Amino acid sequence: MKVLVPVKRVVDYNIKPRVAADGRGVETQGVKMSMNPFDEIALEEAIRLREKGHASSVVVVSIGPQAAQDTLRTAMAMGADQAILVRTDAALEPLAVANLLKVIVERENPGLVSMGKQAIDDDMNATGQILAAKLGWPQATFASQVKIHDGKAEVSREVDGGIEVVNVSLPAVITADLRLNEPRYASLPNIMKARKKPLETLDAESLGVDLTPRLKVVNVSEPPERQAGVIVETVDELVHKLKTEAKVL
């Protein structure tokens, strides 16, 4: 079976984002971009499934600007076999992304879509679920463990208050939580090899999908800033202040 892994290029998770002066979004010009951390985990899981013999190949797909091909090369350096860039400069919502991914799924015919549970820029946590709905496939979200057997995936899911285990028939969409695995680093020889792996580019507009946003961004603003308070010297002083000044005890 082939595993399809959608990956997103986002502002690096260590960067403190700055709201753009025009209030239309967050500054991304000249800011370090990286693969969304949840997608790295989803990709690592796909590569492990191939290494265990459950998958025959791993195809990564990214939807975005030309620069997203760097993210795809990184993915191939980690171990993906081939890549597809669905090129667009438009800012897409999860609904449009899921509709584009559906086209790619129908083309590539994977037995599993392994993807991150959320992107750390829009924090939507929706694309995998929407894609599963559009395909009529079962879903296993927030996965912390995946076991494949007999055409099924047994997935441990992180739920409120504990861990839930579900069994889904393949093909399915699985979204990765942080605890699923620890992604590997790409070694230099593998980075060199990745340059020769196939990367196909498609034009998003040519895939017959309506990309019109349903959400209009009215504005993006800084959240109210929290100010640093005071440093106290002793525990007694702390407790006194919490009782009399903050009145929380």
Partner 1 sequence: MTALVLIETEQGTVRQASRSAISAASRFGDVDVILFGDNAENAAKLANVRKVLHVTNLPHLLAEPAAALLATLAENYTHIVSAVSANSKNILPRLAGLLDVQPLTDVIEIKNDDTFVRPIYAGNALATVQSSDRIKVLTVRGSSFDPVAAEGGNAPVETLGAPGGYDKSHFVKVEFSHSDRPELEVARVIISGGKGVKDAGNFQKLLEPIADKLNAAIGASRAAVDAGFAPNEMQVGQTGKVVAPELYIAVGLSGALQHLAGIKDSRVIVAINIDPDAPIFKVADYGIVGDLFDILPALEKAL
C-beta of 149: minimal distance to partner 1 in Å?
13
First to last CA, the chain: 58
Residue 172 contacts by C-beta under 8 Å, 6 or more apart in sequence? 112, 113, 132, 137, 138, 139, 140, 153
CA dihedral 79, 83, 88, 89 (to 10 degrees): 30
Cβ proximity to partner 1: between 41 and 58 the closer is 41
Residue 71 contacts partner 1 per CB under 8 A: no
For partner 1, the closer CB: 11 or 35: 11
Residue 35 Cβ vs partner 1, minimum distance, rounded to whole Å: 16
- Contact mark string toward partner 1, 133..172, x via CB under 8 A: xx--xxxxxx-x---------x--xxxxxxxxxxxxx--x
Instruction: Tell me: does residue 12 bind partner 1 (CB under 8 A).
Output: no
Gap between the Cα atoms of 27 and 55, Å rounded: 39
Q: Shortest distance, CB of residue 142 to partner 1, whole angstroms? A: 7
Nearer to partner 1 by Cβ, of 89 and 233: the residue is 233
- In the bound complex, what is the minimum distance in angstroms from residue 27's beta carbon to partner 1? 10
218 binds partner 1 (CB under 8 A): yes
| 10-13 long-range Cβ contacts below 8 angstroms, 24+ apart | 10/34, 10/35, 10/36, 10/119, 10/120, 10/121, 11/120, 11/121, 13/37, 13/120
